[in-house]
A = this chain, B = another copy of it.
Amino acid sequence: MAADDGKKKISESTIQRLSLYYRVLSILEKENIKTISSKELAKHEKLTPAQVRKDLSFFGSFGTRGLGYPVTELKNRIATILGLDREWKVAMVGVGNIGSALVGYKEFQRHGFSINMIFDNDQRKIGSNHKGILVSDIANLKEGLRENNIDIVIIAVPATVAQYIVDDIVEAGVSGILNFAPINLKVPENVILRNENMSMELEHISFSLVNRESITATKE
């Protein structure tokens, strides 16, 4: 069971699916369901049972043959794997439309991400209170992040300035960044950068609708 130090390469998609499992398991736990099979779990997220088992097997063997997986325990194990068993200190840079919405997004808190700093460059916002958090001047970004030991920064600023801000964040020693600006940012390779591009999903829908039309045209 302690086969941890072997550097297995876990695929991106496996990690994404762990998030999904975690979500489902949380719901099942609330419904007081004690045990779930890979088959059932798979059905909840439209995956195959084999995939569920393979994903989990990268991290250990959590199930009982003939029975399935213990819901609460598996949920907790996944929480540990994903690092959700701790509180992450998060800062938001930019409280425009998106930034402001994310500060109030309950789902983040629920998973252990607590946003407790906000930065902006708008003089009208600086010093004001946003959902109980004081908005700091972005001029103090670097020191602010350092002094508060921020783990992760969420960037919700215009694409044009995002790179400058990232540079500061990196200099401040933060090594997890979630970027909402629609641009590809450069960071040193020891920094984890993930991008959230909301237009992309809409464009995917658009693509699918257009390509589906040939089928629709021939009538159902």
Most buried by B among A107, A178, A217: A107
Cβ of A111 and Cβ of B199 under 8 Å apart? yes
Cβ of A111 and Cβ of B203 under 8 Å apart? yes
CA distance A15 to B83 in the complex (A): 31
Partner of A190, one of B46, B97, B112, B220: B220
Count of interface residues, chain A, beta-carbon cutoff 8 Å: 76
Cβ of B176 and Cβ of A192 under 8 Å apart? no
Chain B residue at minimal CB-CB distance from A111: B199
Question: Residues of B contacting A18 with CB < 8 Å?
Answer: 203, 207
Question: Residues of B contacting A208 with CB < 8 Å?
Answer: 176, 192
Cβ of A19 and Cβ of B212 under 8 Å apart? no
Cβ of A218 and Cβ of B2 under 8 Å apart? yes
Cβ of A202 and Cβ of B111 under 8 Å apart? yes
- List 12 A-B residue pairs with CB atoms under 8 Å apart, sorted by A's residue number: A19-B197, A19-B199, A81-B207, A82-B203, A88-B206, A101-B101, A107-B182, A108-B198, A108-B202, A151-B209, A190-B220, A192-B205
